[in-house]
Amino acid sequence: MKQIPMLDLKREYEYMKKDIDDAIKQCLEHQKWILGPEVKELENKIAGYLGVKHCIGSSSGTESLVLSLRALAIKIKGQEFFDNNDEILTTSFTFTATGDAVLRSGAMPVFLDIDPETYNIDTNKIKEYLEQSPKARVVGILPVHLYGQACNMEEIMKIAGKYNLFVVEDVAQAFGGMWKDKKLGSIGNTGAFSFFPSKNLGGFGDGGVVSTDDDKIAELARMLLKHGGRDKYNVDHIGYNARIDTLQAAIVLSKLKYIDEFNDKRRKIADIYTQGLKNVEGIVLSKSLPEAYHVQHQYTIRILDNKRDELQVKLKDQGISSMVYYPYPLHKMKVFGNGRSKIYGSLENAEIATQSVLSLPMEPLQSYDETSYVIDCIKAFFVK
Ligand SMILES: Cc1ncc(COP(=O)(O)O)c(C=O)c1O
């Protein structure tokens, strides 16, 4: 029986083996494991790729979010953390780390509903909340470019400008994605990227980067990730040890060469899925916005009539992996309870999504036949 994994990192390693082996060998030779030359090189290359002034390597996507928010708190409020009545508007349909980073920055996450067709934050809800809650002390917006597709950044930046809010983009799933001609992570005050191995630009462990055009934020983020000071032995702020390892930087650097090719391959696989599944009754495809260059970190469909779990089991029996990103909305998690977060209105679309979405195998090196096999098995499930 065919085996189709969600992702095949071994296959990708074989594809770029020489680059990666050479990069690791170079590290073994120079032995500069902390903030070695590959870290600066990676920061400069990504800054150039995104078209931003600064990139700061970090130990994960989560830390990139925390560093962004803490740097903003210090810059805007002149204090180490936000207060818990400083509100940050974000989506409930994301990975836990998005909301968790808001808590760790001291602020109050306000969870808003999503657009049911793109799964990204509903910008109308952002507007409504700001109009209907004049007493709320909203300080920022944290949009998540889920599954590799941009949120409507034009609209979000317009709202942020009107209400004087900062914007931190969660770009963990969308390296190389764009809104019109702008790379994601170059539009808000900062972008927070993740190099978790399964991300569309992933390392061989944890890592991430903060992108920004703001000199002050860049300087603060750099201080915070190295214990909080310019001088490690005499610090100014409550900091972290959140550096990216030299080895991870070297690996990500060698994979960066392939990112455009791999994003393009993902988009081609997505097109095959879309063509094959578009007329299947019982499935709703995600909407791709014409303004967004969608990098298809995931190809996610919605399964109607509570059949998602049954389909997932059936696919597994046929050797096909699939994943539910995400089975719980953030506002239903204990960590965000006890007055630690707020919700606005009904989060019905987020809740429906948690019960109906299914992400299909999306390996850039997946063959046409493998993708067709997944399509055929899904079709066979619905045609009974
Ligand atoms: C949307 C989103 N935000 C944040 C993160 C956190 O990134 P990391 O796992 O590198 O900490 C992830 C991925 O894990 C993510 O998918």
pLDDT of residue 204 exceeding 90, the answer is yes
**Mean pLDDT (whole number) for 135-159:** 97
Q: Is the dihedral of CA 175, 176, 178, 181 positive or negative?
A: positive
- Residue 13 CB partners (closer than 8 Å, separation 6+): 20
Query: DSSP class of residue 358?
Result: E
Q: Return the exposure string of 252-276: e unless at least 16 CB atoms fall within 10 Å of the residue's CB, then b.
A: bbbbbebbeebbebbbebbebbeeb
Q: What is the pLDDT of residue 356?
A: 98
Query: DSSP class of residue 244?
Result: P
Backbone angles phi, psi at 38, to 5 degrees: -65, -25
Q: What is the pLDDT of residue 28?
A: 98
Distance 173 CA to ligand 1 centre (A): 7
* Ligand 1 contact, 203 CB (< 6 A): no
Q: Where are the domains of the chain?
A: 9-256, 259-382
Q: What is the pLDDT of residue 1?
A: 85
* Ligand 1 contact, 144 CB (< 6 A): yes
Q: State the Cα–Cα distance between residues 188 and 156, nearest whole angstrom.
A: 9
Domain 9-256 is found in CATH 1.10.10.10: no
pLDDT band at 253 (very low <50, low <70, confident <90, very high): very high
Q: In what order do the strands lie in the sheet with 182-183?
A: 182-183, 178-179, 292-293
> What is the token pair recorded at 333?
């998690």
**What would be the CATH architecture of the domain defined by 259-382?**
Alpha-Beta Complex (3.90)
Q: What is the pLDDT of residue 186?
A: 98
Distance 78 CA to ligand 1 centre (A): 28
- How far is CA 66 from each of CA 176, 210, 241, rounded to the nearest angstrom? 22, 10, 12
> What is the token pair recorded at 361?
């195998």
Distance 1 CA to ligand 1 centre (A): 33
9-256 and 259-382: identical CATH topology: no
C-alpha angle 326-330-333 in degrees, rounded to nearest 5: 105
Nearest-atom index, ligand 1, CA of 145:
1
Distance 184 CA to ligand 1 centre (A): 15
pLDDT band at 257 (very low <50, low <70, confident <90, very high): very high
| Mutual angle of helices 17-30 and 246-256, in 10-degree steps | 150
Give pLDDT tens digits for 61-120.
Answer: 999 999 999 999 999 999 999 999 999 999 999 999 999 999 999 999 999 999 999 999
Q: Is 46 helix (H, G, I), strand (E, B) or coil?
A: helix
pLDDT of residue 383 exceeding 90, the answer is no
pLDDT band at 27 (very low <50, low <70, confident <90, very high): very high
pLDDT band at 227 (very low <50, low <70, confident <90, very high): very high
Nearest-atom index, ligand 1, CA of 199:
13
Total-model pTM: 0.98
pLDDT band at 232 (very low <50, low <70, confident <90, very high): confident
> Which mutation among 119, 171, 196 tests ligand 1's pocket best, with the greatest number of atoms within 8 A of CB?
196
**Mean pLDDT (whole number) for 262-282:** 97
| DSSP code per residue over 265-322 | HHHHHHHHHHHHHTT-TTEEEPPPPTTEE---S-EEEEE-TT-HHHHHHHHHHTTB--
* Ligand 1 contact, 175 CB (< 6 A): no
pLDDT of residue 384 exceeding 80, the answer is no
- How far is CA 136 from each of CA 45, 84, 99, 147, 344, rounded to the nearest angstrom? 40, 12, 18, 30, 12
- Residue 344 CB partners (closer than 8 Å, separation 6+): 110, 111, 112, 113, 125, 128, 129, 133
Q: State the Cα–Cα distance between residues 6 and 320, nearest whole angstrom.
A: 8
Please check whether residue 301 is in contact with residue 286, taking contact to mean a CB–CB distance below 8 angstroms.
yes
**Mean pLDDT (whole number) for 357-367:** 98
Q: Is 254 helix (H, G, I), strand (E, B) or coil?
A: helix
- How high does pLDDT run on average in the chain? 97
**Mean pLDDT (whole number) for 321-337:** 98
